[in-house]
């Protein structure tokens, strides 16, 4: 499950994934970029996000910065997605 949370409104998107590999994450993020007006992407330093930089052609064209956070920052800012019930996503 890939969970994305919009920072200001806390609107959550959940995408069911077949696995947690970087290629799978990239496909899901590419699809979401084409469906929603995404202004920026912030990911933790997990290995599943290691290939996000390969989306540079797509994100550069759309002016979407991709940020990788340090672990301390990630714990605080990602708390909203970790504390969310999956029932709220439907």
pLDDT given at position 86? 52
Residue 75 banded pLDDT, cuts 50, 70, 90: very low
- Mean pLDDT confidence for 15-44: 86
Question: Are 53 and 41 spatial neighbours (Cβ–Cβ below 8 Å)?
Answer: no
Residue 6 pairs in a beta bridge with none
pLDDT given at position 24? 92
Q: Is the pTM of this model over 0.85?
A: no
- Mean pLDDT confidence for 49-67: 64
Long-range contacts, 79-83 (Cβ 8 Å, 24+) = 80/5, 80/10, 81/3, 81/4, 81/5, 81/12
pLDDT tens for each residue of 38-57: 777 778 778 888 887 777 65
Q: CA gyration radius for the chain?
A: 13
């Amino acid at each position: 499950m890939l969970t994305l949370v919009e920072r200001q409104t806390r609107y959550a998107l959940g995408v069911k994934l077949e696995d947690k590999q970087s290629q799978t994450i990239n496909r899901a993020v590419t699809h979401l970029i084409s469906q929603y007006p995404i202004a920026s992407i912030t990911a933790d330093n997990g290995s599943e996000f290691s290939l996000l930089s390969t989306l540079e052609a797509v994100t550069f064209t759309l002016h979407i910065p991709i940020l990788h956070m340090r672990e301390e920052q990630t714990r605080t800012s990602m708390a909203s997605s970790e504390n969310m019930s999956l029932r709220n996503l439907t």
